[in-house]
Amino acid sequence: MDLFEKDTDAANDGDNIAMLTSAGTWYARADIGRFDDAIAALDRAANLETFPTDGTMLARLRTYYNYGKFTKDQATAEADPVRKQELTDKSIAMFRRAVEIGGAMTNQFVANPQGFLYLSMAQLELGDFTASETNFKTYEQLLSGGSPQ
């Protein structure tokens, strides 16, 4: 990937976003679990986009949410109180970032149900039950063929 970014051939620059998004999605798979690498790749892809796309935003939203769940599960299983708190703090930070990305995504791509679903789940993890319920209802509405209100 770095070779494409550092070369002088402008013809292959369009491939960078797709490659970074693919790499980030692959790194974020549950059986791979390289969330830090996934976030780095997906954030780089987002920074290269002239205009955000729903695919890249959804990949980032999903990855931040899944990383939050992963670290929350680790915190639950952790016996050392210091490490448990570190993991809890990291989990909360991942959920907060997911909410930021989800908010931006659902404002820009109002017909993408998955954006509302992951935003709702991240809000639920942070205890924002009212917002979570509202976004989940929008998700259900979009799935049934309706439009967001």
pLDDT of residue 25 exceeding 50, the answer is yes
Share of the chain above pLDDT 90, in %: 81
Between residues 78 and 12, which one has the greater pLDDT? 78
The Cα 140–Cα 103 span in angstroms is 17
Say if 131 falls within a structural domain: yes
147-to-53, 104, 139 alpha-carbon distances in Å: 20, 18, 10
Q: What are 78-113's pLDDT values in tens digits?
A: 999 999 999 999 999 999 999 999 999 999 999 999
- What are 71-80's contacts with CB under 8 Å, separation 24+? 72/125
Predicted pLDDT of residue 10:
62
Q: How many structural domains are present in the chain?
A: 1
Predicted pLDDT of residue 77:
97
pLDDT of residue 38 exceeding 80, the answer is yes
Give me the chain's average pLDDT, please: 92
Backbone φ, ψ for residue 16 (5° rounding)? -60, -45
Helix (H/G/I), strand (E/B), else coil: 13: coil
Say if 20 falls within a structural domain: yes
pLDDT of residue 3 exceeding 50, the answer is no
**Mean pLDDT within 29-56:** 93
Check which CATH number belongs to the domain holding 98 and give it. 1.25.40.10
Domain with 67, as residue range(s), is 2-143
Say if 96 falls within a structural domain: yes
Say if 149 falls within a structural domain: no
Least confident among 1-5, 17-21, 45-49, 50-54: 1-5
